[in-house]
Structure formats: structure tokens, C-alpha cells
Amino acid sequence: MSGHSKWHTIKHKKGAADAKRGRLFTRIIKELTVAARAGGGDPDSNPRLRTVVAEAKQVNMPAENIKRAIRRGTGEEPGVQYEEVTYEGYGPGGVALIIETMTDNKNRTVGEIRHLLTKYGGDLGQSNSVSWMFEKKGYIVIEKAKATEDALMTAALDAGADDLRDDGDNWEIVSAPDIFPAVREAIEKLGVETASAQVAMLPKNHVSIQGKSAQSMLKLLDLLEDHDDVQHVWSNMDVDEKELEAFE
């Protein structure tokens, strides 16, 4: 099995956001609240909530924080009500962007997102302007040093995964979104540590950029990821490792 999804690019922007622990907790708390509001507060019967709870535990979020966020979602505790809004557009070099937000003020959020895109040579597009370039998939990344291909393949495929890909230093497991919780649990039972486990928007093809366009795009990604209302940013950017190193 083989593939091409550029984990080094995803890893860069994920690392930039996750390094800020308070920002990470805020993002997860919002997701817990919205997931509980949409599907109920029981993780056993709410796959989306179960996935977010697993992410919260992986970053050592205190159990009380998790419970409080879920209670806000179910209405058992007062709190801000967030609305999910997804924006699409382009960044420097024609890179496609999907920006997932949770906000209590759509007018504020769209204005600030548009400003950032314009400032760095991008444009905010209409709904569905770039989403056709991506596929929503369960996506698990594991460093090759952490597990063998045979063990992962058996566990993942038995759980219903679509593919196990070799991406250089990592294994990538791809599945349908509704199968993702079962696949993640199968990998957890192996005792294997994951570098990432999430439902992601994976690009069908990549746009290669370099030089000034690459540096502008990386700066834009960092600013978007650091925005209080932004939960996730997905792009079809492909940059050389040297560009990432120069930016960092």
C-alpha cells in the first residue's frame, strides 16, 4: 500500500499550534462542547464526542475540564454557545485552504479570516470553492520506530481501515470517518503511540510552492492556527523540508 499525504507539512502547523498548551485546551474544550450539544453527552453513543475525549486525554487534559465542557454542551451548565462555520479559500501560490472555526460571532470571525488571507496574498472563496479538492478521512500517523507494518496492517484492516501508507519516516492509516473510532481503538489496543489521530480533510492532490510563496504560506498558516476561533486548517500545500527549516 502506498500514498502521498505530506505528513511533514501537517506536522509543522499542528506542532506550531499544539506548542501553546492553553490554546490547545481551548480548542478541545470547544470541540467537546459542540460535540456534546450535537450528539449527547455519552461518549459511548456519540462517536464524535468519543474521538474528542480521546484527544483530550492524550494531551493530559484534567478529567474535570472534560466533564465540565460536556455538561456545557448538554445544557447542564451555563456557557457560551459556539457555532461551527467552515471557510474556504486560497493562500499564496494557489494553495487551497479549508478553515474550520467555532465562533460566537460569525461577523467578527469572517472579517478577521478575510483580513489574514488578503494580507498574505490569499482570497476568501465561496462555499464549496475548494472542498472538492479534499476528502474527509480518519487519519492516524505512527512513527515507524513505534510499530511494525505487519502488526499495524492486521489491526487496521481488521477494524475496517481503507489503507496503510508508507510516508517515509511514518505509517499513515486512512479510513472512512465513521470507521475512525474503531480503527483508533484497535491501534490503541496494540499499545502503539500515535503521532496524530484525527478526522482530517486530506487533499487529493498537492500544490508545490517554494521561496517567498512558501514562507508567506507558512506564516499565514501559523496566524490562522493561532486565531482564537480557528479549530483546524487544512491545505494542499507541499513544501520542501528546507523551506520548513528556514521558516522555523
What's 24's domain CATH number? Answer: 1.10.10.200
* Same domain, yes or no: 69 and 115: no
* Same domain, yes or no: 137 and 23: no
pLDDT of the residue at 11: 55
* Same domain, yes or no: 148 and 191: yes
- Domain-located, residue 96: yes
- Domain-located, residue 224: yes
* Same domain, yes or no: 63 and 90: no
pLDDT of the residue at 37: 92
More confident: 222 or 99? 99
Query: What pLDDT, in 10s, does the model give residues 16-57?
Result: 445 566 778 888 999 999 999 999 999 999 988 998 998 898
- Domain-located, residue 1: no
CB-based contacts of 237, cutoff 8 Å, min separation 6:
6, 9, 91, 93, 95, 206, 207, 209, 214, 217, 221
The total number of structural domains in the chain stands at: 3
* Same domain, yes or no: 155 and 197: yes
Phi-psi region of 82 (alpha: psi -120 to 50; beta: other; left: phi over 0): beta
* Same domain, yes or no: 107 and 217: yes
- Domain-located, residue 8: no
Q: What percentage of the chain carries pLDDT values higher than 70?
A: 89
Of 74, 101, 117, which closes a domain? 74
Please give the angle made by the CA atoms of 33, 161 and 187, to the nearest 5 degrees. Answer: 70
pLDDT (average), residues 178-185: 91
Q: Are 219 and 172 in contact (CB under 8 A)?
A: no
pLDDT (average), residues 73-102: 91
CB-based contacts of 115, cutoff 8 Å, min separation 6:
none
Q: What is the CA radius of gyration of the chain?
A: 18
Distance CA 109, CA 111 (A): 5
* Same domain, yes or no: 43 and 89: no
Give the pairing of strands 123-124 and 196-203: unpaired
* Same domain, yes or no: 164 and 139: yes
Instruction: Give the containing element (helix H, strand E) for 243.
Output: helix 241-247
Quote the cell numbers at residue 76: 447542564
pLDDT of the residue at 77: 85
* Same domain, yes or no: 213 and 154: no
Res. 4: pLDDT tops 60: no
Distance CA 130, CA 170 (A): 27
pLDDT of the residue at 1: 33
- Domain-located, residue 49: yes
Q: Tell how far CA 215 is from the center of its chain.
A: 21
Of 74, 91, 109, which closes a domain? 74
pLDDT of the residue at 247: 66
- Domain-located, residue 142: yes
- Domain-located, residue 246: no
Q: Report which of 104, 35, 28 is spatially closest to residue 74, judged by C-alpha positions.
A: 35
- Which residue segment(s) compose the domain that 194 sits in? 133-203
* CATH number of residue 95's parent domain: 3.30.70.980
13-22, 96-105, 190-199, 216-225, range with the lowest pLDDT: 13-22
CB-based contacts of 120, cutoff 8 Å, min separation 6:
91, 92, 216, 217, 219, 220, 223
- Domain-located, residue 245: no
174: which strand partners? 139, 163
* Same domain, yes or no: 120 and 179: no
Of 29, 57, 74, which closes a domain? 74
The mean pLDDT value of the chain amounts to 87
